[in-house]
Chains A and B, each alone.
Chain A
Amino acid sequence: MMDILELGAKDIVRFISRRELSARDVVEVHLSHIQKIDGISGSIEGDSSIEPDKVHAFITVTAERARRQADEVDRKIAAGESVGLLAGTPVTVKDIFCVDGTPSTAASRILSNFTAPYTATSVERMEAAGAVVLGKVNLDEFTYGSSSESSAFQPAPRNPWNTGHVPGGSSGGSAAAVAAYEGVLSLGTDTAGSIRQPAAFCGVVGLKPTYGRVSRYGLIAFGSSLDCPGPVARTTADAALMLKVIAGEDMRDSTSVTVPVPDYVAELENGVKGLRIGLSPDYFKITYIDAETGEIMEQAVPSDIKTAVIKAAELLEKQGAEIIDDVPMPHTKYGIPAYFVISRVEAASNLHRYDGVKYGYRAPNQVKTLNELYKKSRGQGFGLQPKLRILMGMYVSAAQYNEQYYNRALRVRSLIRRDFEEVFDQSGKFRLHALLTPTTPTTAFKVGGIYGDSVLMQYADQLTVTANHAGIPGISVPAGFDLEGLPIGIQFLGPDFSENILFKLGRSFELVTENETWRSIKPKFIRDNQ
């Protein structure tokens, strides 16, 4: 049983295609594993403290749908028909994507009764490639958070490496499910780091593609200029395969681009010789506002995280990469303040559509007027984080504050973008192919550790949010553990559409560390099963 659970997408497709395994067998093994370790699924009536030793990655397990999809893959193979790149591969989908006929909740009460009438492009492409969708996984409500604790569907996901700690967020269910072998791949979204941060916290690979690389059609919107769907996987090879399937132009998303999709998998093993990788002191510290005094504070990232990054640089250097120290990225520290403005304005705009009239939650109370219906439905349907974003977004974009806040934040975004353009300029001073940084300023924090402090929670994304402002791609790959045994992630950031280079860097790092002891350590759910 464990052998099947530990297979990557490439092997599953190969075994199924050769009829050495059936897609039905693969899906049954995964469904049985989910039943054993996931515990009760998140629900509106759920309790955050129930079954604290389970993963709770799911909101909805779509077992029968998955079996039908698996049987169709087996039928095609038996009939000699061609199957796709992900044939029979069990995947999960963050419950922020619409999937036809399934509850699509955004982990919010306001969409708790919503069944999607159509399927998101990225899910449609995975299913067309033969992927088997095991279900919809939990997240922060509307993706607003960095721990998954703000989900209206409790219990929220927990970190498979230590269930007393959060899996990160907002794609916490995706990262937890992949780390706990409850699916080979997961489709997540990244608006400030929501794929990379939970990937780092859970010891898996997470890629935020270039903005426009993957269609947003069917994604329930948060920050429309920042949102990027992307893969969560256990290896860079699987993440590369998944991106190859979901990337590309979509006539239903005018922000998707026509740039050709390279064969990420074919280029994966090409090595890193000659690649110039930068290290920036601006990514080894975080800057934040002290809530009591209002002072700007600065703090170095913990030494075990810094050490993991430096060691990765040394190992890649031995593989032929060139390491460039002291790369200035002076506007990194403005990423979060600018995000507080831009993302809130976009979120507020996107949340105005939920009104209790056309779909979603309607307050059951008797009301006399439509205005009263709006207020009660939105008041009861939204949790605290959506409410905070609506109010903040309306305030900073109000006519009298627009110049002071919103336009200023958009101009600061240009400065953040310029930092990257200068260091990636191939005729400039640094001529980098990628920047190597920590993914997060800490490892996974304890459940309840900072939940409720919206400022502190946001600073968990300080090292990832700059890529969303700039639109560039970034990947987080596992790089060992801290002293508490919690995973550490390192991040590669590259210029627009350089996902192929980021995958190569990740793969090279995997190869050069494949015999290190930490690579053989597995979450306790897997150890207990062996």
Chain B
Amino acid sequence: MPEEISPELFDHLVDLAALELTPEEGDYLRRQMNNQLQAIHELVAIPLDAELAAASHGISYSKDMSAHIRKDDWIPNPDPGKLLQQAPETDDGYIIVPEIPHKELE
């Protein structure tokens, strides 16, 4: 069967996904994507009624069973320092990252 994900398309997706892959990883992942697409193509053959709606969840939420919405109140975090401790690099309460590239908009 022809491969749906060509090497060029694959490289484009990898770039969009912000991933850096080894050549071996790239070979494996592209092959697996094409294999999975074969299975997915089974869906294309199913006759679907034009009225059939998409289901974003299995169960349908009625108003009386939906969770109550919280009040839109600002609640300060009890210990922001605990959250900042998880950041790989900080300085005086700021998270440090390398240079953020800028592009002049035309």
Seen from chain A, the residues whose Cβ lies within 8 Å of a Cβ on chain B are 114-115, 117, 210-212, 225, 249-259, 288-289, 291, 294, 296, 333-334, 336-338, 340-341, 348, 355-362, 367-376, 378-380, 382, 384, 387-388, 390-392, 394-396, 404-405, 407-415, 417, 452, 454-455, 458, 468-472, 496
- In the complex the two chains form, is A251's CB within 8 Å of B21's CB? no
Residues on B with C-beta less than 8 A from A412 are 43, 46, 48
Instruction: Give CA–CA (A61, B97) in the complex, Å.
Output: 34
A417 touches B55 (CB 8 A): yes
Closest CB of chain B to A150's CB: distance in Å? 12
Expressed in whole angstroms, the Cα–Cα distance for A413 and B57 within the complex equals 9
List 11 other contacts, CB 8 Å, given A117-B82, A348-B17, A380-B20: A114-B86, A210-B59, A211-B58, A334-B42, A337-B39, A337-B41, A369-B98, A369-B99, A370-B100, A375-B20, A394-B17
Task: Tell me whether A472 and B25 are in contact (CB under 8 A).
Answer: no
**Nearest chain B residue, comparing its CB with the CB of A115:** B86
Residues of B within 8 A of A407 (CB): 54
Q: Which residues of B contact A392 (CB under 8 A)?
A: 33, 36
Instruction: Collect the chain B residues with CB atoms within 8 Å of residue A255's CB.
Output: 57, 61, 67
Which B4-29 residues sit within 8 Å CB-CB of chain A?
5, 10, 13-14, 16-21, 25, 28-29
Q: List 20 A-B contacts (CB under 8 A).
A: A117-B86, A211-B57, A256-B67, A258-B67, A289-B35, A289-B39, A337-B40, A358-B87, A369-B100, A370-B101, A375-B19, A379-B19, A382-B19, A387-B17, A387-B21, A392-B36, A395-B33, A413-B55, A470-B59, A471-B59
Give the chain B neighbours of A114 by CB distance below 8 A: 86
**Contact of A251 with B67 at beta-carbon distance under 8 Å, contacts A379-B20, A384-B28, A408-B44 already known:** yes
Task: Write out the residue numbers on chain A whose beta carbons fall within 8 Å of the beta carbon of B99.
Answer: 368-370
A375 x B18 contact (CB < 8 A): yes
List A contacts of B89 (CB < 8 A).
362
Which of chain B's residues have a CB closer than 8 A to the CB of A117? Answer: 79, 82-83, 86
Contact A391 B14 (CB under 8 A): yes
Residue of A nearest to B36 (CB): A340
**B64 CB–A CB distance under 8 Å:** yes
Residues of A with C-beta under 8 A to B105: none
Chain B interface residue bracket vs A: 35 or more
Chain A's nearest CB lies how many Å from the CB of B92? 16
Please name all residues of chain A whose beta carbon is closer than 8 Å to the beta carbon of B18 when the two chains form the complex: 355, 371, 374-375, 378
Residues of B within 8 Å of A373, CB to CB, are 97-98
A493 to B46 CA separation, bound complex (whole angstroms): 25
Q: A289-B39, A384-B25, A387-B29 are in contact. Are A356 and B56 (CB under 8 A)?
A: no
Q: Tell me the minimal C-beta distance from B99 to chain A in angstroms.
A: 5
Among the listed B42, B48, B57, B61, which residue makes an inter-chain contact with A289, where contact means beta carbons less than 8 Å apart? B42
Bound CA–CA A253/B36 (angstroms): 32
| Chain B residue nearest in CB terms to A366 | B98
Q: Nearest CB to that of B82 among chain A residues?
A: A117
Chain B residues in 8 Å Cβ range of A254: 66-67, 69
A394 and B16: CB pair below 8 A? yes
- Provide the bound-state CA to CA distance between A288 and B38, in Å: 10
**CA gap between A255 and B88 in the complex, in Å:** 32
Complex contacts, A471 vs chain B, CB 8 Å: 57-59
Residues of chain A lying within 8 A (CB to CB) of residue B85: 115
CB distance from A244 to the nearest CB of B (A): 19
Q: Is the CB of A340 within 8 A of B39?
A: yes
Q: State A258–B62 Cα separation when bound (angstroms).
A: 10
- Residues of B with C-beta under 8 A to A384: 25, 28-29
Question: Chain A: which residue is nearest B71 at the CB level?
Answer: A251
Question: A291–B100 Cα gap in the complex (Å)?
Answer: 44
Least CB distance, B40 to chain A, in whole angstroms = 5
Known: A291-B35, A376-B20, A471-B59. A258 touches B64 (CB 8 A): yes
CA A336 to CA B66, docked complex, whole Å: 29
Neighbouring A residues of B87 by C-beta, 8 Å: 357-359
In the complex, which of the residues B32, B95, B100 has the most CB atoms of chain A within 10 Å of its own CB atom? B32
CA separation between A450 and B97, bound complex, in Å? 41
Do A378 and B25 touch (CB < 8 A)?
A: no
Chain A residues lying within 8 Å of B66, measured Cβ to Cβ, are 254, 257-258
Q: How far is the CA of A530 from the CA of B64 in the complex (A)?
A: 53
B36 touches A294 (CB 8 A): no
Given contacts A259-B65, A341-B43, A413-B58, contact A372 B98 (CB under 8 A): yes
Name the residue in B55, B70, B85 with the highest tally of chain A Cβ atoms < 10 Å from its Cβ. Answer: B55
